[in-house]
Structure 1
Amino acid sequence: MRKSTSKLLVAITIMLSIIASYAQNTKTKTQNASDSEQAEQTDQLAAVFNNYFAIKDALVKTDGAMASAKSTLMLSAINAVKMDKLEMKVHMVWMKVIADLKEDAEHISDTKDAKHQRDHFNTLSKNIYALIKASKQTTPTYYQFCPMANKGKGANWLSKESAIKNPYYGSMMLTCGKTVETLK
């Protein structure tokens, strides 16, 4: 009787070990799939965000030709986004902003006039802000504000740096503004 109880306990221990191992493997696979989906979503928007920051940097330097070139790249990145790969919350924001993103990027790419580009950069920034806020970022993004831009109404932009480098006035008022929100 004792031997059969001992064998039964060993068999139960082995079965519990197998079940625990299976559960852990399933959990790991689910987590890896979730991580993979998150990475794919981030990759979908990374080129859009990176080109936005490149446009911002060109406007800081009042380089209309560079802003135009980067905006052309941004249009390509926007058109390459596979909406079905976006998380639902991000997908819903994307659907709301895509037409305006394209319109502003087209206007910025169609001219080398930094003043006209800056007018469209204002609304481009509002829509990129909505997208970044909805998506999960691995590094902080700084939402910054210049009270003098937009004919004194003020305007925002996003930056990878906490230091103020104003894209609306460039070297004329490079440090005019403040960070109003840090997105993580």
Structure 2
Amino acid sequence: MKTQILTAFALMAMLTFVACGNAGEKEKTVQTDSTDHSGQDHAKAAPAAGTATVAQVKDDLLNAVYQQYSSLSKALVESDLARAKIAANAIEAGAKEMKNADALGKSAAKIAGAKDIESQRAAFSDLSNQLIGLVKKAGMGSGELYVDYCPMALNDKGAYWISGIKEIRNPYFGDKMLNCGELKETIQ
């Protein structure tokens, strides 16, 4: 019973954050972010134009964590340290409710505790790799997600991330190199 209450509380907190974080947008969805990382609403545009289709991971808890991950990615693209911390805290809370997600929670905690945006971006790589594995294992209930890669991230070591849009919006460099990267894989 205690676990169910904690799970419900964590989900409510995550969903509240998603709703509050999108307060100024014309169209809202709990399943995916319908804006690209430039802040423009493209909910009615064709998917090929770089918009998110309705994508939902089969596992409900993982889907809620992915929504926060999407907010985190957007915050990193926009170099917003405070919003990134909030999203990372929500990911950490969600990971605590999931099985086999301890590493995901620890990576999220590193991002939440980071003192600067560059440290957050460095920790984002581990978080992304873990989330990619979990999403692939769970599978998609609907829509598709994209695994993107930037070869220049982390001092040219390269790093991956998940996106709900085909258009590259690089969380590792933000506006310095917003479109640096390539789509490597589609998760369907």
TM-score range, shorter chain: 0.5 to 0.7
Residue number in structure 1 paired with 2:145? 141
Aligned counterparts of 1:140 and 1:65: Cα–Cα separation in 2: 29
Aligned counterparts of 1:105 and 1:176: Cα–Cα separation in 2: 24
Matches within 5 A, 1:59-74: 59-74=76-91
Task: Check the 8 A contact 1:145/1:155 in 2, yes or no.
Answer: yes
Normalising by structure 2, we get a TM-score of 0.67
Task: Check the 8 A contact 2:76/2:117 in 1, yes or no.
Answer: yes
Aligned counterparts of 2:57 and 2:176: Cα–Cα separation in 1: 40
Aligned counterparts of 2:57 and 2:134: Cα–Cα separation in 1: 15
Aligned counterparts of 1:101 and 1:74: Cα–Cα separation in 2: 8
For residue 64 of structure 2, what is the amino acid of its counterpart?
Answer: A
Q: CA deviation at 1:80?
A: 2.6
| Aligned equivalent of 2:158, options 144, 154, 159 | 154
Larger radius of gyration: 1
| Aligned equivalent of 2:107, options 92, 98, 104 | 104
Off by >3 Å, runs of 4+ in structure 1? none
Task: Check the 8 A contact 1:67/1:108 in 2, yes or no.
Answer: yes
Aligned counterparts of 2:103 and 2:121: Cα–Cα separation in 1: 15
Residue number in structure 2 paired with 1:35? none
Aligned counterparts of 2:163 and 2:61: Cα–Cα separation in 1: 19
Task: Check the 8 A contact 1:68/1:112 in 2, yes or no.
Answer: no
Aligned counterparts of 2:125 and 2:91: Cα–Cα separation in 1: 16
Unaligned 5+ residue runs, structure 2? 1-55
Superposed CA offset, 1:106-142 (max 9, x none): 0111135110001110010000000111112111100
Matches within 5 A, 1:1-184: 42-81=59-98, 83=99, 95=100, 98-137=101-140, 138-184=142-188
- Once the two structures are aligned, what percentage of the paired residues are identical? 33
